[in-house]
C-alpha cells in the first residue's frame, strides 16, 4: 500500500524520529554506496518558483540513484484543461513518486487521491512538512533532543507555522507562536494539534514574551508568495516582530535561530542575527537534502 506525505500527521512519532536519525546518518556519509532509487523516476510538479525544495530533491534523488523529471504545469496538458485527476493517473503509470509544490493544498490532496504512487507535499499554502522535518533535524543537532525544547516562532502564522505546530503535537517540543491579531495559524490545525499534543502550544502577541526562555527562535518571511497585494500594510503590523539582537537578549544565551529561507534581510531578521554565531539557518537549509533523502528512502519502494 502506497504512503503519501502531505502533512506531518501522515507520519507517526516513531517514524519521524527514525527519519531524523536516518537523515543524520546520511549527512555523516553513512551508506554512501547505497542507491535505493536505482531505476526509479521521480516527478517534480511545481506551480511555484523554488530554490531549496527543487535543488534539494533533485540532488537527493540523484544521490540515491534515481532520476528526477521537472514538470511545469504550464508546459504539460494541465495548461490546456486536462484535469488534476487524469494527470495524476497518467503520471502514476510513468513515475515511481511525485513531489508537488502548489498554491492550493486541495491540489495536493486531489493529486494524491488519484495517484497510485507516493505523493510528497513540497509546499502548499497550508503546509510545509518537508521543511518541518529539516527543522526537527536541526533542533536535534543543536539541542540533542526534541521533547522539552521550547521553540518560539515569531511572525506570520503561515504554512511553516502550521507544520511546526503539528510537529510539536507529534514529538513533544513546546511551541509558542507570537503574531499580530488576525495572522494566527490555521484554526483547524491548531484544534487538531491541541487535541493530541505531546508538547505545549501557545499563541500570544508579545514577541519578547515568546522569546523568553526560548531554546530556539524561528521566523519566516512576512509576505508569502501570492500574498504581495497587501505587503506594505502587513509589514507595518509586523515591524515589532523582527528577530534582532535586542530580541535575542530575552532568550537563553545558547538560543539557536532558524529561518526557512528565503530571508528578507532587514525585515523579519537582521544581518547581525542571520550571520551571527547563534544562527543555524544554513545548516537548516542543508538539512532539507538529508531529511528528504531519508523520506524518499522510506516512501519509494
Q: Is 249 a catalytic residue?
A: no
Q: Which of 142, 260, 284, 290 is catalytic?
A: 260
Q: Which of 105, 127, 131, 250 is catalytic?
A: 131
Q: Is 150 a catalytic residue?
A: no
Q: Is 128 a catalytic residue?
A: yes
Q: Which of 150, 179, 220, 284 is catalytic?
A: 220
Q: Which of 22, 54, 105, 288 is catalytic?
A: 288
For residues 16 and 24, the answer to whether their CB atoms sit within 8 Å is no
For residues 153 and 161, the answer to whether their CB atoms sit within 8 Å is yes
3 state SS of 185? coil
Q: Is 288 a catalytic residue?
A: yes
- Using CA atoms, how far apart are residues 48 and 112, in angstroms rounded to an integer? 18
Contacts of 4 (CB under 8 A, 6+ apart): 10, 112, 115, 118, 119, 120, 299
Contacts of 29 (CB under 8 A, 6+ apart): none
Length of the chain as a residue count: 301
Contacts of 260 (CB under 8 A, 6+ apart): 128, 131, 135, 160, 218, 220, 284
Burial zone of 265 (CB within 10 Å; 0-12 exposed, 13-18 middle, 19+ buried): middle
DSSP β-bridge partners for residue 217: 152, 257
Q: Is 260 a catalytic residue?
A: yes
Q: Is 14 a catalytic residue?
A: no
Cβ count within 10 A of residue 79: 10
Q: Which of 127, 128, 142, 150 is catalytic?
A: 128
Among residues 138, 128, 195, 200, the alpha carbon closest in space to that of 168 is found at 200
Enzyme catalytic residues? 101, 128, 131, 220, 260, 288
Amino acid at each position: 500500500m502506497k504512503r503519501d506525505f502531505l502533512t506531518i500527521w501522515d507520519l507517526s512519532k516513531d517514524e519521524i524520529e527514525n527519519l531524523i536519525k536516518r537523515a543524520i546518518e546520511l549527512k555523516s556519509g553513512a551508506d554512501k554506496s547505497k542507491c535505493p532509487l536505482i531505476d526509479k523516476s521521480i516527478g517534480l510538479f511545481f506551480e511555484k518558483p523554488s530554490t531549496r525544495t527543487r535543488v534539494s530533491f533533485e540532488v537527493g534523488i540523484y544521490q540515491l540513484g534515481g532520476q528526477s523529471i521537472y514538470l511545469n504545469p504550464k508546459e504539460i496538458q494541465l495548461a490546456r484543461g486536462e484535469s488534476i485527476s487524469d494527470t495524476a493517473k497518467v503520471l502514476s503509470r510513468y513515475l515511481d513518486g511525485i513531489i508537488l509544490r502548489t498554491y492550493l493544498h486541495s491540489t495536493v490532496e486531489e493529486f494524491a487521491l488519484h495517484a497510485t504512487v507516493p505523493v510528497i507535499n513540497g509546499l502548499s499554502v497550508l503546509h510545509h512538512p518537508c521543511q518541518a522535518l529539516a527543522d526537527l533535524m536541526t533542533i536535534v543537532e543543536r539541542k540533542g533532543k526534541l521533547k522539552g525544547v521550547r521553540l518560539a516562532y515569531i511572525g506570520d502564522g503561515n504554512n511553516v507555522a502550521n507544520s511546526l505546530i503539528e510537529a510539536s503535537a507529534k514529538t513533544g517540543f513546546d511551541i509558542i507562536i507570537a503574531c499580530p491579531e488576525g495572522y494566527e495559524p490555521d484554526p483547524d490545525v491548531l484544534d487538531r494539534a491541541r487535541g493530541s499534543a505531546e508538547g505545549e502550544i501557545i499563541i500570544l502577541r508579545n514577541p519578547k514574551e515568546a522569546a523568553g526562555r526560548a531554546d530556539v527562535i524561528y521566523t519566516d518571511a512576512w509576505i508569502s508568495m501570492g500574498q504581495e497585494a497587501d505587503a506594505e500594510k502587513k509589514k507595518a503590523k509586523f515591524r515589532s516582530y523582527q528577530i534582532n539582537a535586542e530580541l535575542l537578549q530575552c532568550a537563553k544565551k545558547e538560543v539557536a535561530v532558524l529561518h526557512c529561507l528565503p530571508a528578507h534581510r532587514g525585515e523579519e531578521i537582521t544581518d547581525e542575527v542571520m550571520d551571527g554565531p547563534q544562527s543555524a539557518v544554513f545548516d537548516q537549509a542543508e538539512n532539507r537534502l538529508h531529511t528528504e533523502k531519508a523520506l524518499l528512502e522510506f516512501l519509494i519502494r
